[in-house]
Structure 1
Amino acid sequence: MSLAPWLDACPIVAILRGVKPEEVEAIGAALIGEGLNIIEVPLNSPKPLESIRRLHAAFGDRALIGAGTVTTEDEVSAIVRAGARLMVTPHCDPQLVLAARARGLIACPGFLTPAEAFALLAVGADALKLFPAEAVSPAVVKSLLAVLPKGTAILPVGGMSAETIPAWKSAGAAGFGVGSSLYRPGDGAEAVAARARALRQAAGMA
């Protein structure tokens, strides 16, 4: 299982922080309808494992369903049982990458420094989440890609929007984790779909 084909289809990772299980299927359908097929439910959302289960049951055959804000190996096991196929962490923890890979998950751990990036790649990270991206600039991605192994996928997260994505894309980012500029707790499916369209256009996928 690889993240690359999903990013090639659409490089937007939809981060549904705060989503509730009873609304997640409608939001998921809106995202998939607009071509956003990578959906992440952060574990600090209400009943996140239930939301992941519902997304997996409804869309697992055509979307990559993942869990974000994963910080322990017990959580890795729990998200696998819920049906997740993608693990995203907020920080550099090589042990979580190893745990995820051992369970067949795609691993996209968080990093901020070159040392963290190389440490995570050394244990098999599939992609790297640059977080918090607000702390750096697109120029950092360009510099990192000059020294990291060829083909390394960097996904900035934090501050991603239709306005900011083009600069990161030009710098070489392979994808973009988008949270509050796509979904905020309480948003309806129609509003999310409209934002998804704008994000696709910003990423050059219109």
Structure 2
Amino acid sequence: MTRNIIAILRGITPQEALPACEALMAAGITKIEVPLNSPEPFDSIRQMQVEFGHAAMIGAGTVLTVADVERLAGIGAQMVVSPDCNIAVIAATKGAGMASYPGCFTPTECFTALAAGADGIKIFPSFLVGTKGIQAMRAVLPAQAQVFAVGGIAAEDFGDWLAAGVDGFGMGTAIYTPGMDAHDIRARAAGIVAAYDMAKEAM
């Protein structure tokens, strides 16, 4: 079962990357993002892609420049996530054959991102938009547009966000904080997966 949950491993080190990735996959999460403001992020992404890229979508977050996109393409990354709607970054990402998830906060940014070729929209920070804001945006966005809620989302509220029209979630500190061991990552991830599955079943 493929779940629309992106695990955000902000602050992870290359030494922790493979055990963390394995723990997430064991819990049922196969979309994994290493933000570029983590220590040596390209090394972590490269390791995870080599070891687990056949079974998981491995990529980067906090991607702000075309140069970073090009470097990610060179190490085999599959996904580029950004906090902003940068048309040049989206175009470079798609040109390199990677999935693009730019950050958007307004309907204008959402439509701009989709027109530029984005695979999905990252509503960020979602807690400021709220479920009512998502619902209003969903009324005008294309039905096929994938919408991820990122920022301040609690697992117990998944049902409310799904009902408002989101397709998935980006989860950061709820899954990982720097220094956390693989056992704890798996336990947290398993709890989030269980909440997601329950919310989906209740729809």
* Pairwise same-fold verdict (TM > 0.5): yes
Q: Output the CA distance in 2 between the equivalents of 1:150 and 1:173.
A: 11
User: Which shifted more, 123-132 or 195-204?
Assistant: 195-204
- Equivalent position to 2:64, from 66, 71, 74: 71
- Equivalent position to 1:60, from 46, 53, 65: 53
Name the amino acid aligned to 1:94: I
Q: Output the CA distance in 2 between the equivalents of 1:71 and 1:181.
A: 24
Query: Equivalent pairs: percent with the same residue?
Result: 41
Q: Output the CA distance in 2 between the equivalents of 1:53 and 1:30.
A: 17
User: Which shifted more, 135-144 or 27-36?
Assistant: 135-144
- Equivalent position to 2:167, from 170, 174, 198: 174
1:119 and 2:83 aligned = no
Name the amino acid aligned to 1:150: A
Q: Output the CA distance in 1 between the equivalents of 2:19 and 2:64.
A: 28
Report the alpha carbon displacement of residue 170 of structure 1 after superposing the two structures with TM: 1.7
Q: Output the CA distance in 2 between the equivalents of 1:70 and 1:78.
A: 11
* 8 Å contact from structure 1 (residues 43, 70) kept in 2: yes
Runs (5+) with no aligned partner, structure 2 = none
Report the alpha carbon displacement of residue 112 of structure 1 after superposing the two structures with TM: 0.1
Report the alpha carbon displacement of residue 164 of structure 1 after superposing the two structures with TM: 2.8
Query: What is the aligned partner in structure 2 of residue 144 from structure 1?
Result: 137
Report the alpha carbon displacement of residue 193 of structure 1 after superposing the two structures with TM: 0.7
TM-score by length of 1: 0.93
Query: What is the aligned partner in structure 2 of residue 134 from structure 1?
Result: 127
Q: Output the CA distance in 1 between the equivalents of 2:149 and 2:51.
A: 28
Report the alpha carbon displacement of residue 163 of structure 1 after superposing the two structures with TM: 2.2
* 8 Å contact from structure 1 (residues 15, 40) kept in 2: yes
1:92-112 deviations in Å (ceiling 9; x for gaps): 111111111011010000000
SS in 2 for 1:148: coil
* 8 Å contact from structure 1 (residues 145, 152) kept in 2: no
SS in 1 for 2:108: helix
- Equivalent position to 1:200, from 166, 185, 193: 193
Report the alpha carbon displacement of residue 141 of structure 1 after superposing the two structures with TM: 1.6
* 8 Å contact from structure 1 (residues 130, 156) kept in 2: yes
User: How do 1:1-206 residues align onto structure 2 when only pairs under 5 Å count?
Assistant: 9-204=2-197
Name the amino acid aligned to 1:26: P
Report the alpha carbon displacement of residue 136 of structure 1 after superposing the two structures with TM: 1.5
* 8 Å contact from structure 1 (residues 141, 154) kept in 2: no
Q: Output the CA distance in 1 between the equivalents of 2:178 and 2:159.
A: 26
SS in 2 for 1:154: strand
Q: Output the CA distance in 2 between the equivalents of 1:92 and 1:22.
A: 31
Report the alpha carbon displacement of residue 161 of structure 1 after superposing the two structures with TM: 2.7
Cα-Cα RMSD: 1.2
Name the amino acid aligned to 1:49: F
User: Which shifted more, 8-17 or 39-48?
Assistant: 8-17
SS in 2 for 1:203: helix
Report the alpha carbon displacement of residue 198 of structure 1 after superposing the two structures with TM: 1.1
